[in-house]
Amino acid sequence: MHSEIQRMGFGVIADADEYAEFFTHSDRFLIVDLKRRKEVILREYRPNPYVAICKEKYGRKELEFFKNDKEEQEIYRQIAEIVKDCKYVTGKNFGYFVKMALEKAGTESMLSNFENPQEWIDSLIENRAYAGYRD
């Protein structure tokens, strides 16, 4: 049996509602509650207070290997806290340490091949029968 309401999070670039290249480089997180995969009943934004330091120091592919200092771990833990009430979060790239922080907070990360969150939401609604909804 599935839950009535699914809460999802998306890392987005402010004003564009498009995915940031890296989840931690999102200006904000779009949080959506989707009821019975039929309708959006909540749509809110939560700021990412760590976006500047992440863009400067963390989360880029060329910096990912063999490095994860205490400050970086704490930042990822704090970002995971922001979205921990979501069943899952989606984005273009997460990186190993970000995925681990999200998982530890109880949130699943999913890579998206959609251009923006709205396409993902529309797809969930459109394909709701595949999730077992028959009404």
The per-residue pLDDT for 20 is: 94
**Two structure tokens written together for 25:** 């480089």
Quote the pLDDT of residue 7: 96
pLDDT band at residue 133 using 50, 70 and 90 as cut-offs? confident
| Residue 72 confidence (pLDDT) above 50 | yes
Query: In the prediction, which pLDDT does 1 show?
Result: 47
Segment holding 87, helix H or strand E: none
- Residue 46's nearest CA partner among 29, 26, 25 is 29
Q: Quick check: 31 and 86 in contact, CB under 8 A? A: yes
Give CA separation, 8 vs 53, 86, 95, 114, in Å.
Answer: 25, 5, 19, 15
Residues 21-70 pLDDT 10s: 999 999 999 999 999 999 999 999 999 999 999 998 886 655 555 566 88
* Residues 94-121: tens digit of each pLDDT: 988 999 999 999 999 999 999 899 999 9
Measured CA to CA, the distance from residue 32 to residue 62 in angstroms comes to: 32
73-97 confidence digits (pLDDT tens): 999 999 999 999 999 999 999 988 9
Comparing CA positions, the residue from 88, 97, 84 lying closest to residue 22 is: 97
Residue 132: what pLDDT? 87
Give the count of beta carbons closer than 10 Å to the beta carbon of residue 73.
Answer: 14
Domains with residue ranges and CATH for the chain: 5-129 (3.30.420.130)
